[in-house]
Structure 1
Amino acid sequence: MADGDARIVVATHNEGKLAEMRSILDACIHGLPGEQAARMERFTLVSAGQLGLPDPVETGLTFEQNALLKAGDVTERTGLPAIADDSGLVVDVMGAAPGILSARWSGVHGDDRANMRLLLAQLKDLSEDDLGARFVTAAALVLPAGMGKEEVADRKGPTEFIRTGRMDGHLVHRPRGDQGFGYDPIFVPDDQPERARRAGVELTSAELEPAEKNAISHRGKALKAIMPILIRALS
């Protein structure tokens, strides 16, 4: 790949998600041998939004289908490797909703506050003890034709990979914290950082430091699983 094309596109218009993915990728590169790390550091993560690409309609019925749809659309338009994730909040008492509709639960895609307000209104009469929930992510990597030949012996078009991750926890009625995005202020992960355990408190995802969240999050787990494929393909 020429230096001018040394880019990996994250199929999102959410710059918060781009920053989170960049942090996870940097952590993966940091653990590589020197020469391999140097080759990977040539590549820059850019978002679909930064490239002016349209946001495709998410017609999939699962997280996996939507993630592949988004990454595939970017690779088709740019000829570059693309990473996409489709994530959502699954609330047990709501029969797995909001699920794939999490980002547009209120009817407007990406309106985090409206989505959270509507969900809290729907759950207001329930005890927090009954609000078991989990975040789920499907991460997709699409490599353009001719890249990563060692991954697939015989192929003519783009190659697709998918990995998943989840983070279990429960919801709270009052938002707390200003980190993260989406439903983070009302979600308390089961896996709490050491500082929270020492203090005897439970932190929401929005009260976690980025490194703490990436270490346990659904997105972090899915992306860490798919990064070795990307690293092998590009290095």
Structure 2
Amino acid sequence: MQPHAARVPLSKRLLDKAVAGFALLMLLPLMLIVAVLVLLVDGGPAIFGHERVGINGRRFRCYKFRSMVRDADAQLARILASDPAARAEWETTRKLTVDPRVSRLGLFLRRTSLDELPQLWNVLRGDMSLVGPRPVTADEAVRYGDHFATYSAVRPGITGAWQVSGRNEISYPERVDLDVHYVTNWSLACDLGILLKTVNVVLTGRGAS
């Protein structure tokens, strides 16, 4: 039976908009510096938008500072075609532990979570929430199976249970379980707890990729 999603009140959305708007104003100088660094190091666009699945299955562009080289898709295809171990890891987790597509600056941005700052704009637009399930691609969405309706009952988050529970140190099925548990047991106290834990994860870089 499909788990029943907890009802998320309007107060969560209002809090999202207030915090995201304030954070964008305060962090704008830092974001401009990051954008210039990306342009200087690798050229091309500083911000990358990737299609993800959001609330009610709606597709949206999830924004990040670009952490990969410009020919990342071509490099991924070559890696998966030539390295069976990398292909097996990708098919299991949709990530690579050692990813040659990520630039040196990109590694720093990911470890410090600075690459995710543009998602504050996604929060203001209503695509995302500060806290929620991790935004997934259409290919990943099928991994949720019967739980997809639960996952898509709320907006995906910049941070969430997965991000503060080990990130790449946990398996994909465990990640699905964390998202389902979050949605079905949502509370404001839970969101505040995850936000506090996120600060620790960002400062320590635990599980970052």
Relative to the length of structure 2, the TM-score reads: 0.25
Higher RCO (C-alpha 8 Å, min separation 6): 2
**Structure whose residues are more often strand by fraction:** 1
Please identify which structure carries the higher helix content: 2
- Which protein shows a greater Rg? 1
Using structure 1 for the length normalisation, give the TM-score: 0.23
